[in-house]
Copies of this chain bind each other. A is one copy, B any other.
Amino acid sequence: MRATTIHAPFDLRVEDVPDPVVQDPTDAVVRVLRACVCGSDLWAYRGQSARRPGQRIGHEFLGIVESAGADVTTFRAGDLVVAPFVWSDGTCDYCAEGLQTSCPRGGFWGTPGSDGGQGEAVRVPFADGTLVRLPADAASDDHLLTALLALSDVLGTGHHAALGAGVREGSTVAVVGDGAVGLCGVLAARRLGAERIIALGRHTARTDIARAFGATDVVAERGEAAEAAVRELTGGQGAHAVIEAVGTEQSMRTAVGIVRDGGSIGYVGVPHGSGTGLDLSVMFDRNIALRGGVAPVRAYIPELLPDVLDGSVDPSPVFDLTVGLDGVPDGYRAMDERTALKVLVKP
């Protein structure tokens, strides 16, 4: 089959690789119908996260089960399924409590020895624990299929951020980060009943999506000016709930600056850089909580799926560029240059 590989910073290739097969009886092989490029893939693309030459890449996909091992009981060939961005065994303590990202037998797509999502097919370990079935008729609904793909990462990650930030009915929420995850954080906050959602961002194409997703206010300023603007909008107090969907020192500093005393920062931006951006003395004096991390999206798919199926939650606008498999390197380039928000891949 053909799949995307990374050989060096900015050197992505789409090349022939061995066809995936069932190796363990708990495996399934999934033929990819939709995949996409994540903001976190760019860290590998830019060389800021190390990769071995030739390693696969991509961790978001949905598709059709092609074959399943003897011990797979939940799925069979022909099933439409979505995969979360980590696989997990479905049987350990952590999986049982919905923290599949800590499964000792779990792993990330594209790590050495595993397939990545940006290819024609993927061998899925622990298929019963990992995959979630989708209605068969969704396979013929192009728009719905795109929306469902967001369940593999960005929608669940936005939901995780909103939970970490403590969003509930009537909350005032501020969202730092106008990428696909930040925008899905807006969507998740609205779904959880937030009354006011302040999106920080300066790119109109993105803030327009934020407004469509439920943002009531947009703050285009950055740094201290952004903090002042959010305080101005919140009677000087700041937002109860802050979603941090960037992962830089500056974005975390902004998050601390705009959160209300006693509030919480739900952080899902993969941490980068040497500093944390956290001033613990300020957080201490103001009782600011920090909750989040890598999102156990497998736990959230069953809850979010019905809302995506009935259209009440539609994350599909985050995909603003579609490519075929051969177009993946161009897609990365577009996201790296911020001419695309999130790239959809149709292999």
Contact = CB atoms under 8 A, between A and B. Distances in A.
B290 A294 contact: no
A289 B288 CA distance: 11
Nearest to A269: B284
Number of copies: 2
B285 A294 contact: yes
Nearest to A261: B102
Interface in A272-296: 276, 278, 280-281, 283-294, 296
Contacts of A281: 271
A93 B261 CA distance: 11
A284 B296 contact: no
Contacts of A294: 284-285, 287
B276 A284 contact: no
A285 B289 contact: no
Contacts of A290: 283, 289-291
B291 A261 contact: no
A99 interface: yes
A288 B285 CA distance: 20
Contacts of A47: none
Given A102-B262, A271-B281, A287-B294, 11 more contacts: A94-B262, A99-B261, A99-B262, A264-B291, A270-B284, A271-B284, A278-B278, A283-B290, A287-B292, A287-B296, A288-B293
26 contacts: A93-B237, A94-B262, A97-B262, A99-B261, A99-B262, A101-B287, A102-B261, A102-B286, A264-B291, A270-B284, A271-B280, A271-B281, A271-B284, A276-B280, A278-B278, A283-B290, A283-B293, A284-B293, A284-B294, A285-B294, A287-B292, A287-B293, A287-B296, A289-B289, A289-B291, A290-B290
